[in-house]
Amino acid sequence: NPLATSAMVFVSTVGTHGVGWALLALLAATTGGRRGRRAAAEMLPALLLTNTFVEQVVKRYFRRRRPFVANARALVVGRQTASWSFPSGHSAVSFACASVLGRSYPEHRAALYSAATLIAFSRVYLGHHYPIDVLTGATLGEGSGRAVAWSVRRLRCARRSGELLPGG
């Protein structure tokens, strides 16, 4: 379906390296007051660390070929990326960001996770990943998002209490 394919290309493009999520964090930081700034301060490190970990460590370890490389008859839409397939970086980053933003904005949690799920699905729909790639990416993203956000909160609390000051 050309309309669905165009929509999936758009969704996938927005999810590339978390660009859409970074724009959302910028919007939250500039219009959301203290809560928005706190959400962005937790989300951006989660985005960067998750993306780096998945793309530079995990993919290089597993070195799984993409569906269109492993099977010459597999359909693929868009540019055929040269990176490895497992796990999906789009999915990992999207779920890391949805996890962090969902904590700060519980009233939007369903929409955030729906967006992350749509980005993950787009990767399979477009032929760039196997379903297990996006499921694993989502799981890694959820865990890393929570861990990084927790670390940022702990650092902020330690800084406020003076524990990070010299001699503190």
pLDDT along the chain (168 residues), means of 10: 91 93 95 94 94 94 81 66 87 97 95 97 92 96 92 83 61
Amino acid at the residue 63:
R
In the block, residue with structure tokens 């165009």: 6
Q: What tokens appear for 151 in the block? A: 């670390």
Among residues 70, 71, 64, 78, the alpha carbon closest in space to that of 12 is found at 78
Amino acid at the residue 14:
V
Among residues 83, 54, 64, the alpha carbon closest in space to that of 144 is found at 54
CB atoms within 10 A of CB 153: 14
